Amino acid sequence: MTTLLTSHEAAARLSGDASLTYTSYEGQSASSRVSSNSLVQNYSLLYSSQGPLYNSRVGSYDVSLGYNWTALDTTFKSSGRPNDNFNETRGHLMYNGEIKLDPKEVPFKLNAYSRDMTRNSIATTANPVFENFGSMVGNRDQATGINDGLHIESGATLIAGVKNGMTNGYNEILRHFPMILFDYKDVMNRDLRSQNPVDDRLSRLAFVSLNKKDNWFHYRHTLFEDYIDSKNNYVENEVQLGTVDQNLVRRWIDFSNWLRVSTDLQLSKRKSNYQASSLEEINLNLFVGAERKYWNARTFTTFNRSVDENQKLSYQTTLPLYASGVVSQDLSWDARTSFRNVHDKDVVGVSSRFTAVLAGYRVNAYKRALFSLTQNSEVEVSESNTSRLVTLSAGVETTSSSRFSRAVSLGASYNIKNSVTSSDTMSSSNFVDQRLMLHVAYAPTNTLRFDVSQINEFTNGNYTQFNSTASNSATLLSQYVNPRSLTSAETGSNSYHSLSRLMASWNPRPRLDTNLTLNEDIYKSSVQKLSMVTDVQANVTYTNDAWSVSDSFGYSRGDRYILDDNARTISNTATLKYIHSRNLDGSASVSYSETQSDGANLSGTEVIQKLNYYHFTRSGVMRKLFEFNETLTYSDGFRNTTVINGKTLLLGLKYYPISQLTLAAGAGYTYTTSLNDYTLVWNAAAVANFRLLQVSLDYINGFRKADGVKENKFTGNIRKSF
């Protein structure tokens, strides 16, 4: 039988790999000494075979079988306490079996599989006795466990139905049956010996049938079982009918050349041992789109009914309508309406209601004139159990076009919003928010540009935030947000907010860029004192083929949140980069910052200098032979609120005798206040990277003068594959 189904095109392969990892750590102080040693071995062997079935006329197959074996031996030693030993060996069977059946003359396709190709993984742990030795040599975690659990994934997918125009006897019979999709997936995870034990199973079943053109029936069943904690168990069932295909992509039905519809109904029920995850839900969607030559309209109507874990019943209905059109080349319009209703009812009969009705339009006129004109208006009525909000919003905006001037751009807008709130528990409020914006941009040349904007905002009345206890009850029109994060009582009956901005950019030369930004933020209310916040940002950058220099300056006075006019922040960063040749480059940067706020004065300085030298071979294929890296860092004071005191010198050397081999060495010297209070770290490494062989050796040694702590760590790894 094998001779008939398989062909000479089948391919088999035997592969494997072996790796050894050895890690040694030792730490010593005046009062104690600790050490750890770890050896991890990992071996795997895998046989794979794949090929077509019956010269690819039936399908194909792919099978693999292998074994992964891992062993570890780790010892932690500490003076004054017994040793901690970890010695484990684990084996894991790896397999993969997949068959794809796709007969050319029979209208079905089957893909069945089962696999567990997960390899053993190492769990590492940091011994608590190492915490007193700092971290001069980096991570000191050692291997303490092996994760070798089962991670089996099995399943099958069947698609049946006429898929081409062949008219043999099979299709003549089967073409009368609906196209169906059957998908089953089972995932089993079991690893009880890991640091985080897991033992669960997830099963998913999906059945999809195409009853008529673009009318799909879905049934999905999900079962999750946690054998460690049964509270996580749940069962979920879903039924869906509508124009959503087997890939969960929405399909549209064309009723005519300008009208199309898409609709679906979905019922979901999730039952969990953990009550908070249980849910029953019904979703109904009706989407309609219409498009003619001069207008188009869209609506996305949705209805949702759900019962949550607390037996809380919720209804949500949304009926939006969007329309837009073109009257002429100079005139277009947009309009939208929306109705949203939310009704929640808990198990004791307490109801929460929310209703919002919105209508609005926008007209764009004089598109080809010197100045365009845009006018918009919207009204929204929102109601809850105890309050009602009526919001009226209107605005007008004008902007100059290139016909007016190519050097000057003008813009202005005015918006007014009136919010009337009434409540059963509070007195009614009438709040008016007006905003006037002016904008001017002037570019006298291609290298110079100015942008000036001014925003004035006036409020009158005590604003009250509209709230509702119903779910998803946010209003569509945004409510007022105080620029100083003040409450209504802290704001008073009226306020004024001014935001002025000046931006200038100048590029006198092709590689010289300068820009300046000035912001002045002023706020005053009937019960608050005048609050002023000033921000200044300036940047200069110059680059050429060999070097680049940049400077960034920032200044801020005042605070928007604590209303402290005396708060001040100054910062400046200067950077220089130089490329002498492909063999030599370097950079230097100086940063200074100072912050005064709430009676505290924090300042900090940071200097970073880098130098890199590269040497290349002069014969044969040009490649890098060695490189030298140097970094010098000086920091003093604070960065934000973090202490950054320290002076560090880092030196590094890399040598490449051949392209697959790297030899490296480095040293680092750090001190805080005096040269005698230092930390010295040096390391050496060798890395060989061939196609089937990888070897790495790394040694690092550290000494801290303050407490006399010494640390050293060695890591060796070799991996051979075939």
pLDDT of residue 2: 36
Does residue 117 fall inside a structural domain?
A: yes
Give me the percent of the chain exceeding a pLDDT of 70: 95
Of 427, 430, 406, the closest CA to residue 419 belongs to 430
pLDDT of residue 191: 92
The DSSP letter of residue 404 is T
Q: What is the CA radius of gyration of the chain?
A: 36
User: Which residue reads 């110079």 in tokens?
Assistant: 448
18, pLDDT greater than 80? yes
pLDDT of residue 640: 67
pLDDT of residue 257: 92
pLDDT of residue 275: 66
168, pLDDT greater than 70? no
User: Which residue reads 């993969």 in tokens?
Assistant: 96
Q: Please give the backbone phi and psi of residue 422, each rounded to the nearest 5 degrees, phi first.
A: -125, 145
In whole angstroms, what is the distance from residue 408 CA to residue 422 CA?
Answer: 47
In whole angstroms, what is the distance from residue 351 CA to residue 341 CA?
Answer: 13
With cut-offs at 50, 70 and 90, classify the pLDDT of residue 6: very low
CB within 8 Å of 607: residues ≥ 6 apart: 588, 589, 590, 591, 632, 633, 634, 635
Of 482, 521, 483, 523, the closest CA to residue 500 belongs to 521
3, pLDDT greater than 50? no
683, pLDDT greater than 80? yes
Of 340, 305, 304, 342, the closest CA to residue 321 belongs to 340
Of 620, 556, 545, the closest CA to residue 593 belongs to 556
- For the residues 351-367, what does the mean pLDDT come to? 96
| Beta carbons within 10 angstroms of residue 179's beta carbon | 19
Does residue 233 fall inside a structural domain?
A: no
420, pLDDT greater than 60? yes
pLDDT of residue 169: 58
In order, the DSSP letters of 58-122 are SEEEEEEEEEEEEEEEEEEEETTEEEEEEEEEEEEEEEEEEEEE--TTSSEEEEEEEEE-PPPEE
164, pLDDT greater than 70? no
Contact between 515 and 504 (Cβ < 8 Å): yes
- For the residues 448-458, what does the mean pLDDT come to? 97
Contact between 455 and 437 (Cβ < 8 Å): yes
Q: Minimum mean pLDDT among 354-358, 458-462, 559-563, 564-568: which range?
A: 559-563
- For the residues 233-249, what does the mean pLDDT come to? 94
Rank 161-170, 529-538, 554-563 by mean pLDDT and report only the highest: 529-538
The DSSP letter of residue 6 is B
Does residue 669 fall inside a structural domain?
A: no
State how many domains the chain has: 1
Does residue 107 fall inside a structural domain?
A: yes
Residue 633: beta bridge partners? 608, 648
Contact between 18 and 720 (Cβ < 8 Å): yes
Enter the tokens of residue 210.
């195409």
| CA-angle at 447, arms to 445 and 448, nearest 5° | 70
178, pLDDT greater than 70? yes
398, pLDDT greater than 70? yes
- pLDDT tens-digit readout, 495-546: 999 999 999 999 998 899 999 999 999 999 988 888 999 999 999 999 998 9
Contact between 531 and 524 (Cβ < 8 Å): yes
Does residue 130 fall inside a structural domain?
A: yes
pLDDT of residue 276: 66
pLDDT of residue 141: 84
In whole angstroms, what is the distance from residue 709 CA to residue 135 CA?
Answer: 11
Does residue 115 fall inside a structural domain?
A: yes
- pLDDT tens-digit readout, 186-210: 999 999 988 789 999 999 999 999 8
Print the domain residue range for 125: 1-157
What's the mean per-residue pLDDT of the chain? 90
pLDDT of residue 173: 64
- For the residues 51-67, what does the mean pLDDT come to? 91
Does residue 268 fall inside a structural domain?
A: no
pLDDT of residue 631: 97
With cut-offs at 50, 70 and 90, classify the pLDDT of residue 170: low
- For the residues 277-293, what does the mean pLDDT come to? 93
Give me the percent of the chain exceeding a pLDDT of 90: 68
Does residue 135 fall inside a structural domain?
A: yes
3-state secondary structure of 417: strand
